[in-house]
Amino acid sequence: MAQVTLINVKKIYPGGVEAVKGVSFDIPDGGFCVLVGPSGCGKSTLLRMVAGLETISAGEVSIGTRIVNEIGPADRDIAMVFQNYALYPHMSVYENMSYGLRNRGTPKDEIDARVKEAARILAIENLLERRPRQLSGGQRQRVAMGRAIVRKPQVFLFDEPLSNLDAKLRVQMRVEIKKLQRALGVTAIYVTHDQVEAMTLSDKLVVMNGGQVEQIGLPSEVYKKPASKFVATFIGSPPMNILPGTIDGPGIVALGDAILEARDLREDLAVQTPVEIGLRPEDVEIASEGQAGSLPFDVEFIEELGATQLFHGQLAGLPFVMQAATDVVAAQAGRIWITVDPDRVHVFDTVTGARLGHV
Amino acid sequence: MVEDRRFGDFIAYVILSIGVLIVAFPVWLTFVASTWDAATIINGKLPLYPGPYFFENYNRILFIGTSSTTREPVLGMMLNSFVMAMAIALGKIFISVLSAYAVVYYRFPFRMAAFWIIFVTLMLPVEVRIFPTFKVVSDLRMLDTYQGLAVPLIASATGTLLFRQFFMTIPDELLEASRIDGAGPFRFFKDTVVPLSITTIAALFVIQFIYGWNQYLWPLLVTTKDSMQTIVIAIKKMIVTSDALTEWQLAMATAMLAMLPPVLVVILMQRLFVKGLVETEK
């Protein structure tokens, strides 16, 4: 168990392509860090550099007190779970789990004890003699986890481990991974493009885009105060509505003819500065007509999701989505009035996309 | 509908049976000829059923030899052929697996150049380079030796290509998992690549064993001693074109014996083949 520190880590490929453009953060001992971002954002490359599968072009990666830049993957005291599990197809589950220990010359009885223990934790004791191809996706996933556990590593690395599972199993395994990591207290780095996994698993969320870190923080922080328009639209489902507006005064933005109060907004911005206003579909509430600060929303159609419903339509002439409880009855088409809590109005720079909030 | 299917099956079986007969008849005729005496064959009235000379003919050809041309017993020739075929098959598998492993998994300078050099040798089979090859073998004093028979035929690109294609289908994650599991290049080769290639190795073995066993031109050139002859050459030599009498029953027995090892190899390896086709372990 150890803390992981990245200092200005870069990956530059021989062609000159910069896949990771200087990333720094640290994960405390026992922390669960999730790297999330769209495909090609460099999150997997970063993970693979921590694993030692990719060379580090610049910067420093340390695990515990050791700088591991020049240390091979086998000696970094890490274990990795791959997207396609990467189980050795010709070995039994037992052999798969014990292979790393056998290569290290661990005594036989200890290997046996560790494999049995891991199998018990993961409830795969009855599968030890099987071959990977005789297992279901979820079972393979468990074996891959088992292979990581038996090593008793300082860090677990997960490279999109759940993306090959069906939706139901994914939720179940997500909970199990979190429980297991808590129980073992091992530091974990988890790469995913799924923002639900990112939110639920992490206690440190790193949102990446284009090889750079967009925001680092607790998942709730990232959700409540997205540092940029990119983070705002990437985290949250359905995604945040982004509407063009202007500054209308300190803490006030104008959206078409309507005016919105935004509590987290810098005061030093000149009136009429164009900005982008972000409103989460789930933060929008229905108001009565003419209520102070309410906005007109023309509903065009309604999607029933079971627990909630989504109203799609136009706000100030722009596409807009809001989430409403199922007991809210609205005409399939027609105008309704909505309000948003001033604490939940996000304002972003039109050019850089950065949040224009208090520091 | 049921009627129709039965009729279709019947037709299919008739066609298949005709095919089997066409393939099996010459083999049967050869076998029958090998169990009669020379006189029966010569007078042109060979029966279609086996005769009484089975043990006599096979005993003579295996341990004594024919009376006119190749006086060596065929058993020794079978041994020669077997050694040559095994050396070619195993040697080829050995160098192909290693060279393909190097080409696929190592990043060394001129890697692709090395691969292409191996690749173009496909255009240079033994028949094309026979004179220079003979010169090299003779200068190395390898005429009339097992090395001389096998080594020049080991060097070819087919195996390397076959394994290269197979290795490229092994997911990179397996290599990465091995690296994290502390397996170096040799361990990865031994513990993962070779076990996964077993069916490919078996396939190549069968092909190369039969290729080696059936060699005619090359052994004809490099062997001059009777004791180094291979069985395929012996068959040819037994069929005399001059005024001497061909001992057809012995030539036929030799042909039967020459056929046995390749057939055995196919039968024994068939299980692995089928396994390789049914289970895609990857």
Interface ipTM: 0.83
Task: Tell me which chain A residues have a C-beta less than 8 angstroms from the C-beta of B174.
Answer: 86, 88
Residue to test with chain B: of A68, A103, A149, A191, most B Cβ within 10 A: A103
Strands A295-304 and A284-287: unpaired
In chain A, CATH 3.40.50.300 covers 4-233
Q: From B178, B192, B102, select the one nearest A52 (Cα to Cα).
A: B178
Nearest CA in chain B to A99: B181
List residues in chain B touching A: CB distance below 8 A.
171, 173-174, 176-177, 179-183, 187, 191-192, 195-196, 279, 281-282
Chain B interface test: which of A47, A99, A115 (most B C-beta within 10 Å):
A99
**A206-229 average pLDDT score:** 94
CA distance B214 to A23: 64
Confidence of residue B23 (pLDDT cuts 50, 70, 90): very high
Q: What residues of chain B lie within 8 A of the CB of A99, using their CB? A: 181, 183, 191
Nearest C-alpha in B relative to A101: B181
Q: Does the CB of A337 have a partner CB in chain B at under 8 Å?
A: no
Per-residue confidence (pLDDT) for residue B69, from 0 to 100: 61
| pLDDT over 50 at A20, yes or no | yes
Distance in angstroms (rounded) separating the CA atoms of residues A98 and A113: 10
Range of the structural domain that residue B244 is part of:
65-278
Which residues of chain A does B181 touch, with a Cβ-Cβ cutoff of 8 Å?
A: 74, 99-100, 103, 147
For residue B2, pLDDT over 70 is answered with no
Tell which of A80, A92, A115 to mutate to test the B interface (max B CBs under 10 Å): A80
Residue B277 has a pLDDT of 59
Tell me how close the Cα of A99 comes to any Cα of chain B, in angstroms: 7
Q: What is the pLDDT of residue B282?
A: 43
Question: Among A139-153, A337-351, B182-196, B227-241, where is mean pLDDT lowest?
Answer: B227-241
Task: For residue B17, tell me if it sits in a domain.
Answer: no
Q: Is the pLDDT of residue A268 over 80?
A: yes
CA separation for the pair A147, A85 (Å, rounded): 10
- CATH 2.40.50.140 residue ranges for chain A: 239-349
Is the CB of A36 inside 8 Å of chain B's CB atoms?
A: no
Mean pLDDT in chain A? 91
Once rounded to an integer, what is the mean pLDDT over residues B209-232?
Answer: 89
- Tally Cβ neighbours within 10 Å of residue A189: 27
> What's the pTM value of the predicted model, to 2 decimals?
0.82
Per-residue model confidence (pLDDT) at position B279: 54
Residue of B nearest to A51 (CA): B180
Structure tokens, A104: 């290290």
Spatial distance between the Cα atoms of B279 and A13, rounded to a whole number of angstroms? 38
Confidence of residue A66 (pLDDT cuts 50, 70, 90): very high
Percentage of residues in chain A having pLDDT higher than 70: 98
Q: Where are the beta strands (DSSP E) in A13-124?
A: 18-27, 32-36, 58-63, 66-67, 78-81
- Residue B36 within a domain: no
Q: Do A103 and B192 touch (CB under 8 A)?
A: no
DSSP state of A354: B
Domain containing B87 — which CATH number?
1.10.3720.10
Residue A345 has pLDDT above 60, yes or no: yes
Between A268-272, B34-38, B68-72, the lowest mean confidence (pLDDT) is in B68-72
Residues of B in contact with A147 (CB under 8 A): 177, 181
Q: What is the pLDDT of residues A89-132, one digit of tens each?
A: 999 999 999 999 999 999 999 999 999 999 999 989 999 999 99
Across residues B168-181, what is the average pLDDT?
92
Residue B190: pLDDT above 90?
Answer: yes
Per residue in A187-210, pLDDT (tens digit) is 999 999 998 899 999 999 999 999
Q: How many structural domains are present in chain B?
A: 1
Q: Is the pLDDT of residue B107 over 90?
A: no
Interface test with A, best of B166, B180, B194, B279 (most A CBs within 10 A): B180
- Tokens matching residue A296: 């007109």
Residue B261 reports pLDDT greater than 80? yes
Residue range A290-338, pLDDT digits in tens: 787 788 899 988 898 888 899 999 988 889 999 988 877 766 668 888 9
Whether B23 is covered by a domain: the verdict is no
Is residue B72 one of the residues assigned to a domain? yes
Percent of chain A with pLDDT over 90: 67
What are A188's strand-pairing partners? A32, A156
Average of per-residue pLDDT across B217-223: 90
- Structural domain contains residue B51: no
Arithmetic mean of pLDDT, A253-275: 88
Architecture of domain A239-349: Beta Barrel (2.40)
Q: What is the CATH number of domain A4-233?
A: 3.40.50.300
In a domain, B233, yes or no: yes
Residue B234 lies in a domain: yes
Whole-number average pLDDT of chain B: 87
